[in-house]
Chains A and B, each alone.
Chain A
Amino acid sequence: MRKQFVKTVEDLMALDECLAVLLGDIGVFGFRNAFKLYPDRTYNIGICEQAMTGLGAGLAKEGFIPVFHSIAPFVVERCYEQLKIDFIYQNLQANIVSVGSSYDYAGLGYTHHCPGDVPVLKALPGIEIVVPGTAAEFDYLFRMAYNDKNLTYFRLSEQSNDQDQKVKFGQATVIRQGKKATIIAVGPTLSSVIEASKRFDVTILYYTTVAPFDANTLKENCDSGKIMVVEPYYSGAITADIHRCFKYVPLIIETLGVSHRVITNYGHAAEHDEAFGLTVQNIETRLEELINA
């Protein structure tokens, strides 16, 4: 996804003279062509994410469309108030593209983990949050949303689904329909969800945009009242959205994501997935329990 991110942005920089890339000393080698081709719109701002965000807001006030890029904790949590005040409050547009989602840099430890990015960003009114499942999906979704006058967060991941889906910004994709339960698979969890649900008569909805939340697709595809959410960040980020879809209708919701705790382990992302139950086997077990509940 990261290579696609560079390619997509470089393509768009050729077409859109307003697009400006601001790097927090991350991805500098990747954007080496952009530095040569568009030196006035490609900056390694340095390791100062708060001022980088504010500077980007100033550029946005002068008509530019900033693209911020760094590792998720630094481009989300370090400068969270700048996102809130300098973009959401001022009503300015920009794009944040992070790497290292949840624990992609597993060996680097808790300072570089960021499973809280989606939950904390969802607290910003009007923000758009995109969790693509493949490189091609990122390309399509970025082109759809980068210039839509809002602050948009794109969460790149080292993990990708096996197949590209026909995705659309702001809209969930119906992968298949069934009667016993509805599974919401967010971003790169889809391949595991498809594999885990093979023997069950369930609906699978694929969400690559989690804010704004596509309520209609869920309302139209959930007669069972049983919902399982499989999300690659701290679990529960979209549970309130789900409840708002079904006013006065009792639901059974099972959430499967990263547990809300300090992560002090290292290793590899797959080991963390295993620890949090984000595996085909565990999804299958939990799904069976939900269907039988």
Chain B
Amino acid sequence: MNEIQKKLKYLKRLIIMTTLSAREGHIPSAFSILDIVWVLYDRIMKINPIFPQDCDRDRFILSKGHGSLALYAVLAEKRFFPSDELFAFAKYDSRLGGHPDCNKVPGIEASTGSLGHGLPIAVGMALGMKLRKNSRRVYVLVGDAECNEGSIWEAVLLAAHHKLSNITCIVDYNHSTDRALALGNLEAKFISFGWNTSSVDGHDHNALYVAMNQTANDRPTAIIAETIKGFGCTIMENNPAWHHRIPTDDELPEILEELA
């Protein structure tokens, strides 16, 4: 196991422990996106934890806000706020809620939770940055089930129409949508809307890194990241029962052992 793999396992244990005291959190959704968020913050984005509102920064919006535990774990690891604060997660006066709040948490660009909001906001930020001749980039992570929302496709149209080459939308394609609405070939859909696209294994860091760097000069970029909900934790993987469930005392040792 290399250092990055060890780090990611540590972050997953941290996420599990974070949920225990509040008995709250969407653990499988966080595990689904953790690799994507890590690659963004560790290898792709220009960030400044000391001045999180620095104009010369890349922006990241977690449109599927219920994956907040992954984002919090990475932000804490990158020192946007102390790791100890994770253990206040979802408590009454905590800064860290079940969905992220941009007015409370350093490094959070948009308050999300209700699905279908983050991508339109990201498109507006990309347009604003283009008008301001800001050369940084906007990254936005949406869920596949979130792509059921009409506002997502309105925003996909708008980004292509305005030739926003400074936005990358990553779809966490963990197939949450499959039980409700068939999305079909998502990459083909983005292509038909005029986006530059690629499909990758959303848990393969090098593949993600390559895809995140393959942008186009005249179009927005979409990355369809095939992921496994609950990735790395066998009892949670692709198990809908775990969507919003916290481990019991009996389940915890086995989970932590697998993540050791």
Instruction: List the interface of chain A (C-beta within 8 A of B).
Output: 40-41, 45-46, 48, 50-64, 81-82, 85-86, 89-91
Contacts and interface: CB of A to CB of B under 8 A. Distances in A.
Contact of B120 (A58, A60, A90, A91): A58
Main secondary structure of the interface of B (DSSP, over half): helix
Contact of B155 (A41, A54, A62, A91): A54
The 6 residue pairs across chains A and B that have the minimum distance between CB atoms: A58-B124, A54-B120, A62-B128, A51-B154, A55-B124, A48-B154
A46 B159 CA distance: 13
B158 A46 contact: yes
Main secondary structure of the interface of A (DSSP, over half): helix
Interface of B: 101-103, 109-114, 116-117, 119-129, 131-132, 134, 150-151, 154-155, 157-158, 161
20 contacts: A46-B161, A50-B150, A50-B151, A51-B157, A51-B158, A55-B124, A55-B155, A58-B122, A59-B125, A62-B132, A64-B128, A64-B131, A81-B114, A82-B117, A82-B151, A85-B113, A86-B121, A90-B110, A90-B111, A90-B121
Contact of B121 (A40, A48, A58): A58
A50 B158 CA distance: 12
| Interface-centre pick from A53, A54, A85, A86 (highest chain B CB count, 10 A) | A54
Given A48-B157, A51-B155, A90-B102, A57 B116 contact: no
B151 A51 contact: yes
A59 B127 contact: yes
Contacts of A85: 111-114, 117
A4 to B, nearest CB: 27
A175 to B, nearest CB: 41
A62 B57 CA distance: 12
B158 A48 contact: yes
Nearest to A53: B120
A7 to B, nearest CB: 24
A50 to B, nearest CB: 4
Contacts of A59: 124-125, 127-128
Nearest to A54: B120
Contact of B158 (A55, A61, A91): A55
Contacts of B129: 62
Nearest to B140: A58
A51 B109 contact: no
Given A52-B154, A81-B117, 7 more contacts: A51-B154, A51-B158, A53-B120, A54-B151, A58-B125, A60-B124, A90-B103
Contact of B125 (A41, A50, A62): A62
A61 B140 CA distance: 15
